[in-house]
Amino acid sequence: MTFRFPLPAGTACLALLLAAAPAVATPADPAAANAELAKMYADDQADRAVAPGEPIDWEVVSERDERRQARVRQLLAANALATGADYYHAAMVLQHASEPDDFLLAHDLCVIAIGKGEERAKWLAAASLDRFLINVGRPQRFGTQYQSPHAFRPPRLVPVDPTVPDSLRRAMAVPTLAEAKVKEQAYAEAFLKRRAQQRK
């Protein structure tokens, strides 16, 4: 689990994002787009798969993220997404962007992926919606996001809308609110342990 600091709310609209993407022809072989999206997804995850306590060079990762996000928008504009996995892979890349519109688009792609039978997209649909809501100044609904305002503070569960029942969380493959709070405590303990080790 990586923790990102709060990001300022963006003002770009979805139409501008798609309009700004260079037009590309739909691949003659749909398998080419499938493979490219799968690779971008794998690369996105690999950039975040570090050993516990190891730092991530976010400057390097952010640059790679931007390239992947631009390419996903190109493929989306070219109607190159076909399978549930395609939509899920594209959504994962976009939910690592920095603008609320990207998080909302990632959520929409997850809804399509779920409709096409991609079960992995359930959690991501909840997480991308939570990230969108946080970045427009509202409480998250599902309790998937943890943030810290300062590097020297442990991550905390971002305020959660109390009207959302755990039945919805279970339906979206998300931990219950009580389980999310247990995770918060575990993250805090791991954070404090790392800080203590760094001071030795």
What residue segments make up the domains of the chain, in order of their start? 14-199
Looking at the DSSP assignment, which residues form a beta bridge with residue 146? Answer: 157
Answer yes or no: pTM beyond 0.85. no
14: its two tokens: 């979805």
Ordered per-residue pLDDT tens for the chain, 200 residues: 444 444 444 433 333 333 344 444 444 466 777 999 999 999 999 999 977 667 888 899 999 999 999 999 999 999 999 999 999 999 999 999 999 999 999 999 999 999 999 999 999 999 999 999 999 999 999 999 999 887 778 889 999 999 999 999 999 999 999 999 999 999 888 888 877 777 76
Residue 81 CB-density burial (10 A; 0-12 exposed, 13-18 middle, 19+ buried) = buried
Packing angle, helices 58-77 and 84-94, rounded to 10: 140
pLDDT for 192 equals 83
Neighbours of 170 (CB within 10 A): 11
Considering Cα of 86, then 87, then 90, then 92, what sign does the dihedral take?
negative
Report yes or no: 121 and 72 within 8 Å, Cβ to Cβ. no
Report yes or no: 130 and 143 within 8 Å, Cβ to Cβ. yes
156: its two tokens: 């905390």
